[in-house]
A and B are shown apart, each in its own frame.
Chain A
Amino acid sequence: NAGVTQTPKFQVLKTGQSMTLQCAQDMNHEYMSWYRQDPGMGLRLIHYSVGAGITDQGEVPNGYNVSRSTTEDFPLRLLSAAPSQTSVYFCASSSGPNFSTDTQYFGPGTRLTVL
């Protein structure tokens, strides 16, 4: 299986544009999440989902929307891009908090630049 896939790998936007970062997993994982990684700040949780139809906010949700219509897909939408959203975005999935191992699997990331 492919694990966690993300598209696109790179994206440049102008301030005010909107776009959707795609994330898909083929491991039948219930739990999916989006993180952003910025220099010197570690990874920070944006939004997460514990199953289809269920989403919740993480640490830095402002300016982002998510939905989870299927188990496999968890897109992240930037509503009106700002330079502060320049970052590397990672999608992750896991079998969920009820499983003893609960290992997180990460996608390869999307590098976003907002001009």
Chain B
Amino acid sequence: KQEVTQIPAALSVPEGENLVLNCSFTDSAIYNLQWFRQDPGKGLTSLLLIQSSQREQTSGRLNASLDKSSGRSTLYIAASQPGDSATYLCAAKSNFGNEKLTFGTGTRLTIIP
């Protein structure tokens, strides 16, 4: 059974700093891995999707990497801004069966102005 872990649960950094969010998964047989952003009281917004054959994806100040052999993905945020404050979730999609996404519990990020 796939398990996805995100540590730490909360992170505060000063504005302007670069930061890395971590995601680990137990079953390396994944179809893809997605990073989402969730603002308080809102739904999830997809940020980046990495296929199992890819090593990284970039969008603006965001870069997500995937290392299946070690069961890890990271989300790198460059030059952080107060508007980046949100909860970031990663989700692994299984290769098999019912196309289920397994979510981590998220990292709540606060950017301090």
Contact = CB atoms under 8 A, between A and B. Distances in A.
Interface in A33-49: 33, 35, 40-45, 48
Contacts of B41: 109
Candidate in A40, A43, A101, A104 with the most chain B CB atoms within 10 angstroms: A43
Interface in B32-46: 32, 34, 36, 41-46
Main secondary structure of the interface of B (DSSP, over half): strand
A103 interface: yes
Contact of A106 (B4, B44, B93, B102): B44
A108 B36 CA distance: 14
> Range of interface residues on chain A?
20 to 34
A40 B99 contact: no
B44 A90 contact: yes
B104 A56 contact: no
B51 interface: yes
B89 A42 contact: yes
Interface string B69-113: 000000000000000000001010100001111111110000000
B49 interface: yes
> Range of interface residues on chain B?
20 to 34
Contact of A41 (B31, B43, B89, B105): B105
A42 B105 contact: yes
B46 A105 contact: yes
A57 B41 CA distance: 26
Interface of B: 4, 31-32, 34, 36, 41-46, 49, 51, 89, 91, 93, 98-106
Given A48-B98, A109-B41, 10 more contacts: A31-B99, A42-B104, A42-B105, A43-B101, A45-B101, A57-B98, A100-B51, A104-B44, A106-B43, A106-B46
